[in-house]
A and B are shown apart, each in its own frame.
Chain A
């Protein structure tokens, strides 16, 4: 009985450790994002996704810099939108969208750590109607 209990505990710990080792940076993590709506195509043919108030995605840690095309819409009386970008929770860029033109922000990546992926978070200080944040087009990573 006691031997079975010990075997069970050892097995549980082994499975737990293996699961945690796997979940630290599984291959599918690169495709994980949050806070985005579905892809749409604008009148100029550019593909983009609306964010919510907070969106995140991963880029390879090998990237030296990334380019993020961003815009938002401006209806009558709509105020400017403050956008804050962080990399792995460290502030990386902060700017204001004052018109509805596409703006590409080029962000230099900090030195990579032990991970193969870096997390980019984008937050806005206000939403457009329908709980939409800003439009993000395809992100370019430069190695």
Chain B
């Protein structure tokens, strides 16, 4: 059943994608943040210029527009992109197909015409489905097929995931969703399969490297690996001695991760003379005044306001399950820091977006909690009924509000409570 859910998600995602672009609800996919995540591909494959200057000359008369957050580095005058190369790396197979079709049809091969646009857009959808597939593999290790299927369906439709797989699929979030789901799966496999497996270690390193390449602050998520299975001080000591005993595999992980990240470091070095840069320029964090309420509960972008389904996931984590227990310490640390970082970002609403897009990345963690609650609900028919009703209502509300956003009924940011009430359950 859960396998069919992944297949159905692919079909439903493709239908939604076609709908938003065929009806003109969304501008072409390579836009806003999606532009600067993608721009490396025409630079590498069409212009052969990792420095981005050739793309700037071709697309924009020599200067990138302000919305791209691609800035000239003071001193060197070279272009530095606020967004790293990870998304572009994962988009590469789709880009090459789009490039081939573009040349075949003699459409302008500038990196931004129609086949490139939809290669980038469909790439996001494909990696979302790959993420659901990896999540299914993770959940099936500890949950029944029915619970896994219910978790995948509700997560896909009851959160912003469907929106970011279709309407805004060129942003980084669904790529991180795939990488996080894969990282959790590999982490559990690495710790529970005691045999020394070099291939697995290298794979963990590659995925860890891609996580950092996709969004630097997501390096935080790598803490899930050493904190796996930790619940007490004694278990922390046990984890440390386990890691020490398997140092050769750890070295393989570190080397693989470093090799994956090397191109990004070289790009930074070429542009700035430094390997590590804060590529956001003057934009940054306000650590002394985090908008914690805003990012979690506010009408503007509150995570639980726009995806109330995730409250069930929190309940599932609190209730606990053998599948969630090894991840508890890591999830607590990662989510606490992640919420604080997101709430401290100068634009805590993350610009124009549906719900809070900053949390799409960590949905695999919420999936574990959701599955835990669904498993608990199956113990008694009344619980099953109650949880089903709540989950279905949450999914309905999420899908309806997403359609409101697509129709332009909901503003893209700075929504007020009065505005929300005035358009509640209205599609036009």
Contacts of A133 on B, CB cut-off 8 Å? 61
Given A52-B60, A127-B60, A131-B65, are A34 and B105 also a contact pair (CB < 8 Å)?
Answer: no
B residues 286-318 near A (Cβ < 8 Å) are: none
- B101-114 near A? 1/0 per residue, CB < 8 Å: 10011111110111
- A44-56 near B? 1/0 per residue, CB < 8 Å: 0000000011101
A20 at the interface (CB under 8 A from B): yes
Shortest CB-to-CB span from A124 to chain B, Å, is 6
B residues 55-92 near A (Cβ < 8 Å) are: 57-63, 65
Partner of A24, one of B60, B105, B109, B113: B105
Contacts of A123 on B, CB cut-off 8 Å? 58
In contact, B58 and A53 (Cβ under 8 angstroms): yes
Q: Interface size of A by Cβ–Cβ distance < 8 Å?
A: 26
In contact, A125 and B106 (Cβ under 8 angstroms): no
B residues 84-132 near A (Cβ < 8 Å) are: 101, 104-110, 112-114
A108-B100 Cα distance, complex, nearest whole Å: 29
Chain B contact residues (Cβ within 8 angstroms of A): what range? 10 to 19
In contact, A127 and B61 (Cβ under 8 angstroms): yes
Given A126-B61, A126-B62, are A56 and B110 also a contact pair (CB < 8 Å)?
Answer: yes
Query: Which residues in B have some Cβ–Cβ distance to A below 8 Å?
Result: 57-63, 65, 101, 104-110, 112-114
Given A32-B114, A125-B61, A126-B62, are A119 and B108 also a contact pair (CB < 8 Å)?
Answer: yes
A89-B103 Cα distance, complex, nearest whole Å: 11
- Residue on A nearest B112 in the bound complex, by CB: A34
**Those 4 A-B pairs whose CB atoms lie nearest each other, nearest first:** A56-B108, A127-B61, A126-B61, A53-B61
Shortest CB-to-CB span from B240 to chain A, Å, is 50
In contact, A119 and B110 (Cβ under 8 angstroms): no
Contacts of B61 on A, CB cut-off 8 Å? 53, 124-127, 133
Given A125-B62, A131-B60, A131-B65, are A88 and B106 also a contact pair (CB < 8 Å)?
Answer: yes
- Residue on A nearest B116 in the bound complex, by CB: A34
A residues 5-58 near B (Cβ < 8 Å) are: 20, 23-26, 29, 32, 34-35, 52-54, 56
Query: Which residues in A have some Cβ–Cβ distance to B below 8 Å?
Result: 20, 23-26, 29, 32, 34-35, 52-54, 56, 88-89, 115, 117, 119, 121, 123-127, 131, 133
Contacts of B109 on A, CB cut-off 8 Å? 89
- Residue on A nearest B59 in the bound complex, by CB: A53
Partner of A54, one of B59, B104, B105, B106: B59
Contacts of A115 on B, CB cut-off 8 Å? 106
A23-B101 Cα distance, complex, nearest whole Å: 8
A106-B114 Cα distance, complex, nearest whole Å: 28
Sample of 28 A–B contacts (CB below 8 Å) = A20-B104, A23-B104, A26-B105, A34-B107, A34-B108, A34-B110, A34-B112, A34-B113, A34-B114, A35-B110, A53-B57, A53-B59, A53-B61, A54-B108, A54-B110, A54-B112, A56-B107, A56-B110, A89-B109, A115-B106, A117-B106, A119-B107, A119-B108, A121-B108, A124-B61, A127-B60, A127-B61, A131-B65
A124-B108 Cα distance, complex, nearest whole Å: 15
Given A34-B112, A56-B113, are A29 and B63 also a contact pair (CB < 8 Å)?
Answer: no
In contact, B108 and A52 (Cβ under 8 angstroms): no
Select the residue from B63, B106, B109, B110 with max chain A CB neighbours within 10 A: B106
Contacts of A25 on B, CB cut-off 8 Å? 105-106
Contacts of A119 on B, CB cut-off 8 Å? 106-108
A127-B65 Cα distance, complex, nearest whole Å: 10
Contacts of A89 on B, CB cut-off 8 Å? 109
- Residue on B nearest A88 in the bound complex, by CB: B106
A54-B59 Cα distance, complex, nearest whole Å: 5
A25-B108 Cα distance, complex, nearest whole Å: 14
Known: A53-B59, A127-B63. 15 other contacts (CB 8 A): A24-B105, A29-B105, A32-B107, A34-B108, A34-B112, A34-B113, A35-B110, A52-B60, A53-B62, A54-B59, A54-B112, A88-B106, A119-B106, A125-B62, A127-B61
In contact, A52 and B62 (Cβ under 8 angstroms): no
A35-B60 Cα distance, complex, nearest whole Å: 10
- Residue on A nearest B105 in the bound complex, by CB: A23
A117-B106 Cα distance, complex, nearest whole Å: 9
A117-B105 Cα distance, complex, nearest whole Å: 10
Contacts of B114 on A, CB cut-off 8 Å? 32, 34
A119-B65 Cα distance, complex, nearest whole Å: 26
Contacts of B58 on A, CB cut-off 8 Å? 53-54, 123
